[in-house]
Amino acid sequence: MTTHAIGLIINPMAGRDIRRLVAYASLQSSPEKALVARRILAGIADVPDVEVLLPEDMQGFFAWIQSEVGGQVPIRLVRAPAGSDDSTVLWVNMLVEAGAETLVVVGGDGTQRNVAQASPRVPVLPIAGGTNNVACYLGDQTAAGYAAARYLAGGLDPAEVGNRAKLCHVSLPNGHEELALIDVALTRQNYTGAMAVWDPDDVQALVLAVADAVRPGLSNVGGYESPVASADDFGVHLTLGEDGPPTSAVLAPGLMAPFVIQAARRVAFDEPVLLTAGPDGATLALDGERTVVLKPDETATVRIRRDGPLVLDPARILAHRARG
């Protein structure tokens, strides 16, 4: 009898953003995503009494995944509420309400940001599947599936085999709040357009919860001179300009870009960082995607806190099993 449930989300749109066209990143087709699912499920299948929950979506992507990979483990498709639109936030809530005890989510930082927006009450294992994957596990997908199943079967304490993620809380002039997991960028563009940030000349300032020198994205800009790990209880604020020696950063796979860092300072938890639009307006990019338009001279305030999802670490889970 099945005693545990893992919710699996694979972002159908991950791997199709504009950065893959201006850089040298590989496009990820639906058949490739089915292979990713097969690898994850192969690991889960090695642990008895675990079922996998998939969310129903309007395009039938997850039903297709179920038909392609069914048979490895018990898979149940969770029906979406009538009239609902597809979104990662909806899928997270659907799966948790249906009994998922942990979530395995394949996608980049943007997808994992959407998971954080849902404030899941169960732990998450984020697996890299986008262009920028700073918030994600980069190791073997089969091992990740196995670790998620072992976490449930072993009744492990999530605090021992995971960490609470940091969040950038962005307070907007209209009173609303947005969230980012890794980075908030003030850009010169005053429209969202294709959303993804890929031109270094657009970026005026960065607030980074993580600054990683070996993973692509805006986080990479601070990674060489002002590194910040996910475990560090602080962030960094970078002011960018045009005058001065440039710092090269890996903006996307195969895409090096020059950034001029005019100032860098450490940001304590809950310390307010003000990002102000110029006379022509601006946009805020959250985890690499332009999401919020600021009117001329409007100011947003960013605060970093450790109140994000509880993120499981496959290496710690499997090391715990080895010790046991």
Residue 132: per-residue pLDDT: 85
Instruction: Tell me: do 25 and 158 sit in the same domain.
Output: yes
Instruction: Tell me: do 187 and 255 sit in the same domain.
Output: yes
Q: Bridge partners of 294?
A: 282
pLDDT at 204 over 80: yes
| E strand or H helix that includes residue 194 | none
pLDDT in tens, 168-188: 999 999 999 999 999 999 999
CA–CA separation, 236 and 89 (whole Å):
28
DSSP conformational letter for 309: P
In 3-state terms the chain splits into helix, strand, coil percentages (rounded to 5) of 25, 35, 40
CA–CA separation, 310 and 109 (whole Å):
15
Q: DSSP string of 41-58? A: HHHHHTSSSEEEEEE--T
Instruction: Tell me: do 157 and 215 sit in the same domain.
Output: no
What burial letters (b/e) apply to 230-253, b meaning 16+ CB within 10 Å?
Answer: beeeebbbbebeeeeeebebbbbe
Residue 91: per-residue pLDDT: 97
The total domain count for the chain is 2
Residue 304: per-residue pLDDT: 98
User: Amino acid identity of 289?
Assistant: E
Contact 255, 217 (CB under 8 A): no
Instruction: Tell me: do 259 and 110 sit in the same domain.
Output: no
Instruction: Tell me: do 135 and 277 sit in the same domain.
Output: no
| E strand or H helix that includes residue 296 | none
Instruction: Tell me: do 51 and 185 sit in the same domain.
Output: no
Task: Show the tokens assigned to 307.
Answer: 């109140």
In whole angstroms, how far apart are CA 294 and each of 145, 166, 192, 285? Answer: 41, 24, 10, 11
Instruction: Tell me: do 64 and 52 sit in the same domain.
Output: yes
> Which tops the pLDDT comparison, 252 or 143?
143
pLDDT in tens, 48-102: 999 999 999 998 999 999 998 878 899 999 999 887 888 999 999 999 999 999 9
Which segment of 14-23, 208-217, 299-308 scores lowest on mean pLDDT?
14-23
Residue 86: per-residue pLDDT: 87
| pLDDT > 70 fraction of the chain, expressed in percent and rounded | 93
What domain range is 190 assigned to? 167-305
Instruction: Tell me: do 120 and 35 sit in the same domain.
Output: yes
Instruction: Tell me: do 153 and 265 sit in the same domain.
Output: no
* CATH number for position 63: 3.40.50
Instruction: Tell me: do 160 and 190 sit in the same domain.
Output: no
Helix residue spans in 46-179 (DSSP H): 61-69, 88-97, 109-117, 141-153, 158-161
pLDDT in tens, 285-318: 999 999 999 999 999 999 999 999 999 999 999 9
Taking the alpha carbons of 209, 212, 217, 219 in that order, is the dihedral positive or negative? positive
Instruction: Tell me: do 131 and 173 sit in the same domain.
Output: no
Instruction: Tell me: do 133 and 179 sit in the same domain.
Output: no
* CATH number for position 267: 2.60.200.30
